[in-house]
């Protein structure tokens, strides 16, 4: 278990990161432990989502606008106007990521975190997209496309 303290950059942590062993903490010190299994990146991608229990008058799923703000291979945080219930099924269509399905696992003040249900192949493809987003969001790698990608209106 890792706690707050100083890590040297050569072991893979950011230079200047702080670490302390649990026995070094005083009673009033802040103690933090990271239990997530995946690396999460901060993003800002628009999208839309629907909740299984939210239907319109015709019985169809209502769609709401959202913004993906944080993602890993197993979960995604959405800034959203309507929260689902814990465990509720979600289908989200996020720009550059595609359709993601899962369940609400945590409620936020203005949104929620959902799991990402995917096969091993789908998860590997998602990991590649996340890696691409991480490299390109800070313009570390130039985007060599001459035009923005788009979906044809009448795709066959």
Whichever domain contains 51, its CATH number is 2.40.10.220
Average pLDDT over residues 89-114: 96
**Alpha carbon 80 to chain centroid distance?**
13
22 shares its domain with 58: no
Closest CA to 47 of 9, 17, 78: 78
User: What's the CA gap between 89 and 62, in Å, rounded?
Assistant: 13
pTM above threshold 0.85: no
Q: What is the mean pLDDT of the chain?
A: 78
13 shares its domain with 52: no
103 shares its domain with 26: no
The burial of 83, by beta-carbon neighbours within 10 Å (0-12 exposed, 13-18 middle, 19 or more buried), is given as middle
Output 29 or 14, whichever has higher pLDDT: 29
User: What's the CA gap between 90 and 72, in Å, rounded?
Assistant: 17
50 has pLDDT over 80:
yes
User: What's the CA gap between 42 and 32, in Å, rounded?
Assistant: 20
| Residue 153 maps to a domain | no
104 has pLDDT over 70:
yes
Q: In total, how many domains does the chain have?
A: 2
| Residue 142 maps to a domain | no
| Residue 144 maps to a domain | no
Average pLDDT over residues 59-79: 95
- Residue-level pLDDT at 45: 94
Residue range of the domain that includes 101: 41-137
13 shares its domain with 62: no
- Residue-level pLDDT at 16: 40
Average pLDDT over residues 39-55: 92
65 shares its domain with 116: yes
- Residue-level pLDDT at 144: 64
14 has pLDDT over 70:
no
């Amino acid at each position: 278990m890792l706690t707050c303290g100083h890590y040297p950059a050569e072991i893979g942590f950011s230079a200047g990161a702080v670490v302390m062993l649990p026995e070094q903490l005083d009673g009033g010190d802040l103690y933090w432990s990271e239990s997530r299994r995946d690396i999460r990146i901060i993003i800002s991608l628009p999208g839309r989502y629907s909740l299984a229990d939210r239907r319109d008058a015709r019985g169809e799923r209502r769609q709401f606008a959202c913004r993906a703000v944080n993602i890993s291979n197993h979960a995604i945080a959405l800034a959203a106007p309507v929260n689902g219930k814990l465990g509720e099924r979600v289908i989200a269509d996020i720009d550059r990521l595609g359709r993601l399905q899962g369940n609400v696992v945590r409620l936020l003040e203005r949104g929620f975190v959902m799991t990402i249900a995917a096969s091993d192949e789908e998860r590997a493809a998602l990991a590649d997209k996340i890696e691409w987003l991480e490299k390109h969001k800070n313009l570390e790698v130039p985007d060599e496309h001459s035009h923005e990608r788009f979906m044809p209106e009448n795709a066959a």
